[in-house]
Structure 1
């Protein structure tokens, strides 16, 4: 390309490609934000999957106790140094070898999404 002569004929293709890549990135970021932040349905569905298929989240009592509101998610936190932690996610992560495969997939997705978002966002890369 000559500095003061005719422009490169491929410049239009390069600019068009850059505009389309930026539009696609913007669209993906906006869709991810709409689905992840403003809609609780993905979180409800993943919580439903974990609650139904993970035996570590089920209470030790009968079904009548669970229906009355005594679920393991509503238990008060355990005392420091005794028993399992009160947070069910921490309890699942500490006993990951005994988890169901579906629970590993759900928690693995959310942990990898969090870690990838943390790394990419801190490096000023396109991530929501």
Structure 2
């Protein structure tokens, strides 16, 4: 076996440190997002406080809201789908929260299917 010159040692060290960092980030993401619901509580709190469309929906699941929906808005049974359908009328906070979760979902779908590191 040949002796490792400094450039090979640096490349090997860089590759190992990148892999360790990737593994640590994956494990941390799994622990934070799977075992603690704080991320979801905070985003739900933001949505309930900032979004007027959610305030207009009744709290009874499965029952359509009383009255007609506002003009140009579609009100489905699932309130998250209602926010996605009415994207243009949502507040900036709602767009940011929904954009984060939709982007996370799409990136995870694309990267995981291609054997790239994603949690």
Q: TM-score range by the shorter chain?
A: 0.7 to 0.9
**Which segments of 5 or more consecutive residues in structure 2 lack a partner in the other structure?**
65-73
Deviations 1:70-102 (A, max 9, x none): 52xx33154xxxx72100011111111110000
Root-mean-square deviation (Å): 1.8
Distance 1:75 1:14, change over 3 A: same
Aligned residues: 110
Q: Which residue of 1 aligns with 2:71?
A: none
Distance 1:5 1:29, change over 3 A: closer
Runs in 1 of length 4+ with deviation above 6 angstroms?
A: none
SS at match of 1:58: helix
Q: Which residue of 2 aligns with 1:49?
A: 46
The normalised TM-score by structure 2 is 0.84
1:76 aligns with 2:52: no
